């Protein structure tokens, strides 16, 4: 299963990396809030889980400065190569990389001051394992922060695309929107906070953040998802090129109503969870 997840993200790696300007604009405020909750100081050691193409890793590396250290991990070797390239291009020497499943024990010598995870934790089949692994490597007083997708009802672009994709694949059975390892697996009210408390964390908070996509049109959003949105790409992957094209076209039409006077505004809601390892 984890191997399948890794291969799926390998396939989306280049798309996610080249979409960094879109991702960065979409998550600008949410990322700033995540870093603020991590309480990063110069010299801090940070573990960045599911680091992807390293957009937030770079922000973290800059926040902790040359005396700090970041270990960026991801299950997909290909996407982590893009992170390495981004960090090298920025001339930052304080980041190390390791291909790793966030659910597995972390191999690192000293404890971390913070563990961060931007839009990765919900893909874990057993997120409690990831929370426990992070807990073990945090110093007492260290911070855990994660951004995940919020309530599916407030994420209509994702739910619409998934619905259309499943229809084109002929997957007509009903599935829980909160299925483990899926986009909304941590979106149910209180779920992530409960998991954090059960793992032993204190000072647990979970805050809803609006992170709408501001793009010229629905076509731009669909172009982003079709190159980098692994969960939807994977639903359509078994179809032939013509059938896939028709699904993407239908998604674009379905998302057109989000066009307003100022351009296209796709609603998106995130949850920012934060917690402390007790001293």
Ligand X SMILES: C[S@@+](CC[C@H](N)C(=O)[O-])C[C@H]1O[C@@H](n2cnc3c(N)ncnc32)[C@H](O)[C@@H]1O
The reply on whether position 118 binds ligand X by CB under 6 A is yes
226 or 246: whose CB is closer to ligand X? 226
Q: Which of 112, 123, 149, 221 touches ligand X (CB under 6 A)?
A: 123
Ranges within 124-143 binding ligand X (CB under 6 A) = 124
Range in contact with ligand X (rule: CB under 6 A) among 1-9, 208-216, 239-247, 249-257: 1-9
Mark the segment that binds ligand X (CB under 6 A) among 74-82, 212-220, 235-243, 265-273: 74-82
Q: How many CB atoms lie within 10 A of CB 129?
A: 16
The interface with ligand X within residues 92-111 (CB under 6 A) comprises 101-103
Question: From the centroid of its chain, how far is CA 105?
Answer: 20
Binding of residue 50 to ligand X (CB under 6 A): yes
- Asked if 74 touches ligand X (CB under 6 A), the answer is yes
DSSP collapsed to 3 states, the chain: CHHHHHHHHHHHHHHHHHCHHHHHHHHHHHHHHHHHHHCCCCCCEEEEECCCCCHHHHHHHHHHCCCCEEEEEECCHHHHHHHHHHHHHCCCCCEEEEECCCCCCCCCCCCEEEEEEECCHHHCCCHHHHHHHHHHHEEEEEEEEEEEECCHHHCHHHHHHHHHHHHHHCCCCCCCCCCCCCCCCCCCCCHHHHHHHHCCCEEEEEEEEECCEEECCHHHHHHHHHHHCHHHHHHHCCCCHHHHHHHHHHHHHHHHHHEECCEEEECCEEEEEEEECCC
Question: 55 to each of 18, 117, 122, 213, 225, how far by Cα in Å?
Answer: 11, 12, 18, 17, 17
Applying CB under 6 A, does 81 fall inside the site for ligand X? Answer: no
Q: Which of 55, 113, 252, 269 binds ligand X (CB under 6 A)?
A: 55
Applying CB under 6 A, the site for ligand X has a residue count of 22
Identify the residue among 22, 38, 40, 79 touching ligand X (CB under 6 A).
79
Is 104 or 246 the residue whose CB approaches ligand X more closely? 104
Instruction: Choose the binding region for ligand X from 52-60, 162-170, 233-241, 251-259 (rule: CB under 6 A).
Output: 52-60
Piece of the chain touching ligand X by CB under 6 A; list 71-79, 233-241, 248-256, 265-273: 71-79
Helix 77-89 × helix 2-18 angle, to 10°:
30
Task: Select 223 or 250, whichever has its Cβ closest to ligand X.
Answer: 223
Contact between 225 and ligand X (CB under 6 A)?
A: no
Near ligand X by CB under 6 A, which window of 44-52, 138-146, 166-174, 267-275? 44-52
Instruction: Examine residue 116 and tell whether it contacts ligand X (CB under 6 A).
Output: no
Is 113 a residue that touches ligand X (CB under 6 A)? Answer: no
Name the site residues for ligand X (rule: CB under 6 A).
Answer: 2, 5, 9, 23, 50-53, 55-56, 74-76, 79, 101-103, 118-120, 123-124
């Amino acid at each position: 299963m984890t191997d399948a997840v890794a291969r799926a993200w390998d396939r989306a790696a280049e798309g996610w990396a080249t979409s960094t300007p879109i991702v960065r604009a979409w998550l600008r405020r949410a990322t700033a809030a995540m870093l603020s909750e991590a309480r990063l100081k110069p010299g801090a050691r940070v573990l960045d889980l599911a680091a992807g193409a390293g957009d937030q890793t770079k922000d973290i590396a800059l926040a902790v400065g040359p005396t700090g250290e970041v270990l960026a991990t991801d299950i997909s070797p290909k996407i982590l190569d893009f992170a390495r390239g981004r960090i090298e291009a920025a001339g930052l020497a304080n980041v190390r990389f390791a291909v790793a499943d966030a659910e597995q024990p972390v191999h690192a010598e000293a404890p971390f001051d913070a563990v961060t995870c931007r839009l990765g934790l919900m893909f874990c089949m057993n997120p409690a394992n990831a929370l426990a692994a992070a807990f073990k490597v945090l110093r007492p007083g260290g911070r855990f922060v994660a951004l995940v997708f919020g309530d599916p009802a407030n994420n209509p672009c994702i739910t619409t695309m998934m619905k259309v994709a499943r229809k084109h694949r002929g997957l007509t059975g009903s599935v829980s929107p909160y299925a483990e390892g899926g986009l909304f697996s941590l979106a149910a009210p209180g779920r992530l906070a409960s998991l954090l408390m059960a793992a032993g964390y204190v000072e647990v908070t979970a805050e809803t953040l609006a992170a709408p996509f501001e793009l010229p049109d629905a076509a731009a959003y669909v172009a982003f998802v079709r190159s980098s949105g692994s969960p939807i790409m994977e639903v359509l992957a078994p179809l032939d090129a013509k059938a896939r094209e028709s699904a993407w076209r239908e998604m674009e039409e379905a998302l057109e109503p989000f066009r307003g006077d100022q351009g296209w505004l796709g609603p998106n809601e995130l949850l920012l969870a934060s917690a402390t390892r007790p001293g």
